[in-house]
Chains A and B, each alone.
Chain A
Amino acid sequence: MDLQIRNLLKTFNGFVALDRINLTVGDGEFVCLLGPSGCGKTTLLRIVAGLLPYDSGELLMGGRDLGGVPARDRGFGIVFQSYSLFPNMTVAENIGYGMKIRHAPRERIAARVAELLDLIKLPQVADRHPWQLSGGQQQRVALARALAVDPSLILLDEPLSALDARVRADLRTEIRDVQRRLGIPTIMVTHDQEEALVLADKVVCMNHGLIEQVGTPQDLYLRPRTRFVADFMGSSNLLPTGWVREAMPHLMPSRPDGAEAAFDACVRPERVSVTPAPGAEGRVIDLTFLGNIRRLRLAWRGRELLAETHQDPGVAPGEAVDVSVAADACAWVRA
């Protein structure tokens, strides 16, 4: 089943939190809502869950209007950032809770719980209480609890952001695996662009209650359409039209028509190639070693550029370099 969001408007006392959002979540699709804190991601997710009313617009699940359906009748699974396991219940009771509400027979609940504990790779914790689990384990259990009732949609609100980096990376892969296997459409909120790139079939980049761009991770990274998206999806060189015309004229043909200030060129740092050349125009300002990559700040034709390489570029700060950018390395973004 797919979820369609049409012209969804949400205000808090006059403050527009979601400004006529349109979005489709296809069957089996993993959608990430990505954006800075306060842009309305959680608000959108909670509206979809039925936990928050909205002003106007439509929510359709498989063509059926969700407007009059309260959260508890929607049959969705939800996982929050933290602290959402019932502290008074064991892990097994937590996972079986949704089925118990549906009056499923005891044996069936037990079987399902065992199955899900296997699925989240925690078969031995059934009788523990939430506080006896680590943060990562708690989130796995929360996921299992959401999955127990065969939800038609899974909603994840920053489920990984309270965990430390290693656990986060592990759990990230696991969430993706489970979702792909079960094929349940999923919406996940995150403010971490890497997480969105790794997990999503479709990334929805939001800012100030508006959707800036929807697309595959590649689309958003390689072909950002706005300055905001370019900036948010990793670092980039954003170059004004006038300067590009002078310094990199070969990038101009791909520029859409529009006023001088309407578009900037976006060049990712790894697309800026740097070769040592004594007496060349470019100069290395400084060089940062980041493990797998090296980042250079360059002064070139009156601007500062950012470049990244995997190999040692063989230059030191202050030395002269040649700078070049391929014609297809540039995306034009709305300023």
Chain B
Amino acid sequence: MTMPATPSAIPLNRSPARRARSSADERLLYGACVLVPVAALLLFFLFPLATIVWRSLVEEAGGVGPGNYLALFRTPGILRAVTNSLAVGLATTAVCLVLGFMVAYAVQRTRMPGKRFVSAALSLPLLAPSLVLGLGLIFLLGRNGLVSNLLGTRINIYGFSGLLIANVLYALPQAVLIIQAALRHSDARYYDAAEVMGATRWQQFTGITLPNVKFGLLSAGFVVFTVTITDFGNAVTIGGDFTVLATEIYNQVTGQMKFGIGAAVGILLLLPTGVAVYIERVAAQRQFGTGSESALPPVPDHVPARDVPLFLATMALALSIVAVVATVVFASFVRLWPYRLDLTTKHYAITLSGGYEPLWTSLGVSVAAAGIGTALLFALAFGLRRLPAAVAKTVYLLAVLPVGVPGLVLGLSYIFAFNLAGSPLHVLYGSALLLALCNFYHYHTQGFLTMVTGMRAVPPALEEAATCLGGGAVRVLGDVVVPVMVPTLLSVFFFLFMRSMVTLSAVIFLVTPSVTLGAVSVMRLDEAGFVSQAAAFSTCIMAVVAAAALAMRGAVTLATRRTVS
């Protein structure tokens, strides 16, 4: 070993004055990192929410009181909508749990072939606006659908049964993801121990597998219920006369201008989702509290008596999802579904005023939502680590609150908050920027949690090493935190982008004839009877989102390979 010959390093000659300035700059940076996102949260989330609460208490006659809530009971449409929503919500939840567990178990715990196909098929509904599923079902099973045509009878798919199927197809992927995560969280040693003690397969299933996923099932159940009772797209497309809360609130507000009643329904919708979110979080903590770092994942074995039936059922399900989505794509290219099946692109000439304009607006809005959202969430997660624990906890709570507010309610609350003549915020109303912000805050929580998880994975030792080598806050940020966070930043960006491309429920209240979005166009085309054009427009949206999903996969893989071991 040789002694370094040259005394080569340069000492840091920072004067005390410069030092004081740089540490003040640093405090400013951290302060801004937290303050800007929190101020935005207050303005674009908490403030609208407070406004909707307030508006629900302002009675039509002018006073303040529970008048709007009492009026709900006297509005027969609302009562019916509540029972309908509950019925379809509960039915969807039950079906989704059974099917979701089946698929998750088949993928996670068996050696059946075709798992990749099943996973891919199940991710399809996440790439499309919810109403695409309704649309596909109508193409297949509707009055002028393929099946009616082949059988020569007229099936009536509109109403409860159609809505149930569409909702199940839409919510199933989310249920599967949650249950699959719960199943993954087990430990092979439980099963080895049971095996040694002489437990049969069935005993192991009922004694270990089921108890271990019970919180996963609970949580999946609540997510499905919430998604279903607040979804708008399917209810509009395939609900027919079967009115549900989501459509009723839309009618009350945009049809009859009964803002007070709309606000009251919005508040009611907060209740079940609020409870659901709360229980889900408690459940999540318990679920993951038991998992240990060193858990060995169970290795599935091949049991024909179990795997073959599971394979058939899972494949049937996956194929029906593919069939529904593929039908939409196919129908968009045929002359007159299902009577004249010669191929044409004429439906891609959109006759609705504006044509493809809304698709471009959607793109712009989604890029803006993702860009603004990723920047704000990154700043928040970064600044949060420097806050005193008590303050950080409060900010954290505020940041996860949006998940408890359905898009429908958020969109409605934006009307109340930003459509006020005379208020300086009014300039935002009807702008694409407000749509972007609404979409961002709609999905704030999921993005925030991903960001926080990513930030936790930045080893503190890295930042400290950079600091000791003389790096200031900006250097630490640029040289250490951002490079490690690239995969997380990418996935948050694409998550917000994709959700923003397909969501309908929040923005439906905010679009104007001049600024409208792709998903809304699909709905308008469908309402106007141009189903094939609706299919064509949906296909375009799905193509964009699928391209984005592929781009994300590629980018994340690349970034992960570059930075992490």
Point out residues on A near B: beta carbons under 8 Å.
46, 49-51, 68-78, 80-89, 97-99, 101-104, 108, 111-112, 115-116, 118-119, 121, 130-131, 142, 145-146, 148-150, 155, 174, 177-178, 181-182
Contact = CB atoms under 8 A, between A and B. Distances in A.
Contacts of A102: 9-10, 12, 470
B153 interface: no
B483 A51 contact: no
A133 to B, nearest CB: 10
A259 B467 CA distance: 51
B351 interface: no
Interface in B1-17: 1-12, 14, 16
A119 B469 contact: no
Contact of B23 (A70, A75, A89, A150): A70
A68 B467 CA distance: 15
Interface string B18-35: 010001000000000000
Contacts of B7: 150
B6 A84 contact: no
A74 to B, nearest CB: 7
Contacts of A75: 11-12, 470
Interface string B489-507: 0000000000000000000
A84 B475 contact: no
A112 B10 CA distance: 12
Contacts of B479: 86, 89, 97
Contacts of B480: 86
A103 B11 CA distance: 11
A73 B20 CA distance: 11
Interface stretch (B197-205, B287-295, B557-565): B557-565
Given A70-B23, A121-B1, A145-B469, A78 B464 contact: yes
Top 7 nearest A-B pairs by Cβ distance? Answer: A131-B565, A88-B483, A98-B469, A150-B9, A84-B461, A80-B461, A78-B468
A176 to B, nearest CB: 12
B428 interface: no
12 contacts: A70-B19, A71-B467, A77-B469, A80-B461, A80-B464, A83-B459, A85-B462, A112-B9, A115-B5, A116-B4, A150-B9, A182-B3
B109 to A, nearest CB: 32
A231 to B, nearest CB: 31
Contacts of B471: 72, 97, 101
A131 B564 contact: yes
A49 B472 CA distance: 15
B8 to A, nearest CB: 5
A83 B12 contact: no
A178 B2 CA distance: 9
B484 interface: yes
A87 B4 contact: no
A59 to B, nearest CB: 15
B137 to A, nearest CB: 48
B435 to A, nearest CB: 35
B336 interface: no
Given A75-B11, A88-B483, A108-B8, A101 B461 contact: no
B325 to A, nearest CB: 39
Interface of B: 1-12, 14, 16, 19, 23, 459, 461-462, 464-472, 475, 479-480, 483-484, 562-565
B16 to A, nearest CB: 7
B465 A73 contact: no
Contacts of B8: 99, 104, 108, 111-112, 115, 150
Contacts of A115: 2, 4-6, 8
Given A73-B470, A97-B471, A101-B471, 9 more contacts: A51-B468, A71-B464, A72-B12, A78-B465, A80-B461, A111-B6, A119-B2, A149-B469, A182-B3
Contact of A86 (B1, B16, B483): B483
A73 B4 contact: no
A231 B12 CA distance: 44
Given A101-B475, A111-B6, A112-B8, A181 B1 contact: yes
A182 B8 CA distance: 13
Contacts of A71: 464, 467-468
A86 B466 contact: yes
Contacts of A81: 461
Given A49-B464, A87-B563, A99 B483 contact: no
Nearest to B10: A102
Nearest to B472: A72
B1 A119 contact: yes
A110 B124 CA distance: 51
Contact of B470 (A46, A118, A149): A149
Contacts of B14: 73
A112 B12 contact: no
A145 B465 contact: yes
Find the residue from B9, B12, B459, B472 having the highest chain A CB count within 10 A.
B9
A146 B2 CA distance: 17
Nearest to A112: B8
A299 B388 CA distance: 58
A52 to B, nearest CB: 10
Nearest to A52: B464
Contacts of A112: 4, 6, 8-9
Given A71-B468, A72-B468, A101-B470, A86 B23 contact: no
Contacts of B565: 87, 130-131
A111 B10 CA distance: 14
B501 to A, nearest CB: 31
A95 to B, nearest CB: 10
Find the residue from A46, A102, A146 having the highest chain B CB count within 10 A.
A102
Contacts of A103: 10
Contacts of A82: 461
A78 to B, nearest CB: 4
Find the residue from A81, A101, A112, A116 having the highest chain B CB count within 10 A.
A101
Contact of A87 (B3, B6, B483): B483
B484 A178 contact: no
Nearest to A97: B469
Contacts of B562: 88
A154 B197 CA distance: 55
B11 A181 contact: no
Nearest to A130: B565
Contacts of B472: 72
A174 B9 CA distance: 22
A284 B447 CA distance: 68
B470 A72 contact: yes
Nearest to B7: A150
B9 A99 contact: yes
A111 B7 CA distance: 11
A74 B23 contact: no
A146 B562 CA distance: 24
A227 B458 CA distance: 41
B10 to A, nearest CB: 5
